[in-house]
Amino acid sequence: MSEQKLTILAVGGHVGDMELTAGGVLASHSLKGDRIVTLALTAGERGVPAGRDMADYRKQKVQEAETFASMLGGEAIVFDNPDGELPDSHEMRVQVADVIRQVRPNILITHHSRSMHKDHMTTHRIVNDARFFAGLPSFERELPAFFASKLYYAENWEDAVDYRPYVYIDFSQEAYDLWIDALSKHWFVTGSKSFPYMEYYKHLARVRGIEARKQYAETFMIPQETLRELRSGL
């Protein structure tokens, strides 16, 4: 019997968030034939290079999201919210719930709850509530209810407050190479002067791999209410 293929939906506050923090694992799953979908609640256009038009840069960011996803054989969705002004609203929760019902992911990945960036914290709250709404049959929308059974919070240098690595997911050199190749299509990863994104996340993947006694790994937290083990003995 063939192994059931998974669908993974990674939801970030901006284009690039999930590609950086969970991209190695997403690449690994794509090589296994799993379906990868990224959703960015804003494009992240306020990181516009000096002298560039922000509207044009937003178009570039959307294209970068689509390029990354396509290199993993997946799909990218980018909402039309202004960077830095993501609404913490019921309407936004409904929109994300609709995407969850459309994509029907086995696995959801998003931001940890504590962050230096307001859009990241807002995204965390939106995704947690949207997961609830999407799985509620009495919450009537165009598409039928669907509950994403697993939820993970990715490791992000901006979301470091109270973050504690819990789940280590290792991946191969082939997945690493695919991830870095796709990641290099994002201008801010390779061209930003504010933070050495590529260097940081490449080294982090190696450090987490060493901790896991593997070559490369990325770490995740899970909702506190699921931090339990059921055993019949010691």
> For position 227, what pLDDT does the model report?
86
pLDDT computed for residue 121 by the predictor: 97
Question: Cβ neighbours of residue 39 under 8 Å, at least 6 residues apart?
Answer: 9, 10, 11, 12, 76, 77, 78, 79, 96, 99
User: What are the DSSP calls for 72-115, one per residue?
Assistant: TT-EEEE----TT----SHHHHHHHHHHHHHH--SEEEEE-S--
Tell me the two tokens of residue 234.
């010691």
User: What's at 6, amino acid-wise?
Assistant: L
Across the chain, where does the E strand assignment appear? 7-14, 35-42, 75-78, 107-111, 150-154, 167-171, 216-221
Q: Helix 90-103 to helix 118-134 angle, to the nearest 10 degrees?
A: 60
Cα separation, 11 vs 105, in Å, equals 11
CATH architecture of 7-225: 3-Layer(aba) Sandwich (3.40)
Per-residue pLDDT 10s for the chain (234 aa) are 457 899 999 999 999 999 999 999 999 999 999 999 999 999 999 999 988 999 999 999 999 999 999 999 999 999 999 999 999 999 999 999 999 999 999 999 999 999 999 999 999 999 999 999 999 999 999 999 999 999 999 999 999 999 999 999 999 999 999 999 999 999 999 999 999 999 999 999 999 999 999 999 999 999 998 888 888 988
Q: For residue 78, what are the β-bridge partners?
A: 40
